[in-house]
Amino acid sequence: MKKSGRLLTLAIVFLTCMAFGVSAQAEQTKLTMYYPVAVGGPLTKIVDSMIADFEKANPDIDVAAIYAGNYNDARIKALAALKSGKPAQLSVMFSIDIYDLIEQDAIVPFEEFAETDEDRAWLKSFYPALMENGMTMGKTWGIPFQRSTIVMYYNKDMFREAGLDPEKPPQTWEELATMGKKLTTKDRWGAMIPSTGYPYWMFGALCKQNGEVLMDGDGKRTFFNKKGVVEALTFWNDLSAKHGVMPKGAIEWSTLRQNFLEGKTAIMWHSTGNLTTVKKKAKFDFGVAMLPASKMRGTPTGGGNFYIFKRTKPEERKAAMRLIKFMTSPERSAEWSMKTGYIGISAAAYKTAALEKYITDFPPAKVARDQLQYATAELSTFQTGRVRKLLDDAIQAALTGKKTPEKALGDAQKSAERILKPYR
């Protein structure tokens, strides 16, 4: 009989595991939210501690905050959770996901539960530039949280070495090219603009600087083949092809910070969300500046917004609102900004004593905010994933020399037209 005991053991192991597998699902919390991280540093820990503070102040609410990877992963996972039996009530997702989320019938506008005057005032308390990607069809769908702009990090030691004034980073495209040339040596590059990960985002900055935007206000039309847009891509490409200050080919978003810290480039364009990590790790004197201008200054905003999902009970929505209000309050926003480099999302955040002092001691921290006055919305349309990939591919095709900027953008525009036409 010993042998058939084996069968029994096997069956028991099997069933126990099955039970484990299912019971893992049964762990329920009152609020579940997903959130992404797209820059360096121990961001998950910071979010966790903010959530813990919230739970301490609100013992009746239990929040499970789940780190889901990058922005794309966060959207995939949050939507997948909605379809499965284990939905989330709110999430931080990419600000540009707004149209897809509306089309999937996944989110509700905040006007629906902003009942009091106080709530309505709260909705208006954020920087208007940060609200552009959160509003469409006359409603507010996303509340800014981890928001950024692109800033220019530069190595002051290298500026000195090249005989440049370390307090005068390039102000225009021409200066970027000429100074870049002086900064480029055998061992390092003058400047790097990342072209993987979020190439369309960097490109949005160049376009705005050249007086162009990439799409209309309701996400149904793109302007990829406009003259100013083509010029912007030509300039980007010229930085390597003509001026030789940037390496050829696609520049990796994720390793760029390492390159900058290792002194392989004198200038990098990157998210302000990297600021605190750069500050901690840089072994040289570095500066942060607004991006240079062609016709004007410009940057897209970027980053994640809070969304509340449609399939939620009224009491869950109330709890979610409390959580969002907590996380976006001036004090929390100031704390978040200091720990990461992301922008404080309201003027009130910059009036808190803590952030005021931080900025006085560390002026680079205010560049991103000051740049907001020149900011525009980030590329966001219906079928954002697909349209965005079209533009990403076009940019990379031009930078790797596969197509001319004109051809690449023309092709992308044609395909985008085909995708967006049904929505008009």
Contact characters 132-171, other proteins, x per CB under 8 A: ----------------------------------------
Binder among 31, 33, 35, 39 for other proteins (CB under 8 A): 39
Q: Determine if 185 is a binding residue for other proteins (CB under 8 A).
A: no
Binder among 247, 295, 356, 404 for other proteins (CB under 8 A): 247
Contact characters 199-238, other proteins, x per CB under 8 A: ----------------------------------------
Least CB distance to other proteins at residue 360 (A): 27
C-alpha distances in angstroms, 6 versus 14, 15, 18?
Answer: 12, 14, 18
Which 3-state string (H, E, C) describes the chain?
A: CHHHHHHHHHHHHHHHHHHHHHHHHHCCCCEEEEECCCCCCCHHHHHHHHHHHHHHHCCCCCEEEEECCCHHHHHHHHHHHHHCCCCCCEEEEEHHHHHHHHHCCCECCHHHHCCCHHHHHHHCCECHHHHHHHEECCEECCEEEEEEEEEEEEEHHHHHHCCCCCCCCCCEHHHHHHHHHHHCCCCCEEEECCCCCCHHHHHHHHHHHCCCCCECCCCCCECCCCHHHHHHHHHHHHHHHCCCCCCCCCCCHHHHHHHHHCCCEEEEEEEHHHHHHHHHHCCCCEEEECCCECCCCCEEEEEEEEEEECCCCHHHHHHHHHHHHHHCCHHHHHHHHHHHCCCCCEHHHHHCHHHHHHHHHCHHHHHHHHHHHHEECCCCCCCHHHHHHHHHHHHHHHHCCCCCHHHHHHHHHHHHHHHHHHHC
Binder among 319, 399, 409, 420 for other proteins (CB under 8 A): 399
Q: Which is nearer to other proteins, 168 or 248 (CB)?
A: 248
Binder among 31, 33, 35, 40 for other proteins (CB under 8 A): 40
Q: Determine if 6 is a binding residue for other proteins (CB under 8 A).
A: yes
Binder among 160, 242, 357, 402 for other proteins (CB under 8 A): 402
Instruction: Give residues 248-307 in contact with other proteins (rule: CB under 8 A).
Output: 248-255, 257-259, 262, 264, 274, 277, 281, 283
Contact characters 366-385, other proteins, x per CB under 8 A: -----------------x-x
Q: Determine if 172 is a binding residue for other proteins (CB under 8 A).
A: no
Q: Which is nearer to other proteins, 256 or 293 (CB)?
A: 256
Least CB distance to other proteins at residue 259 (A): 6
Contact characters 324-353, other proteins, x per CB under 8 A: ------------------------------
Q: Which is nearer to other proteins, 44 or 360 (CB)?
A: 44
Q: Determine if 28 is a binding residue for other proteins (CB under 8 A).
A: no
Least CB distance to other proteins at residue 148 (A): 13
CA geometry: angle at 137 spanning 411 and 417, to 5°? 15
Pick the stretch among 13-21, 165-173, 218-226, 228-236 that binds other proteins (CB under 8 A). Answer: 13-21
Q: Determine if 73 is a binding residue for other proteins (CB under 8 A).
A: yes
Least CB distance to other proteins at residue 93 (A): 13
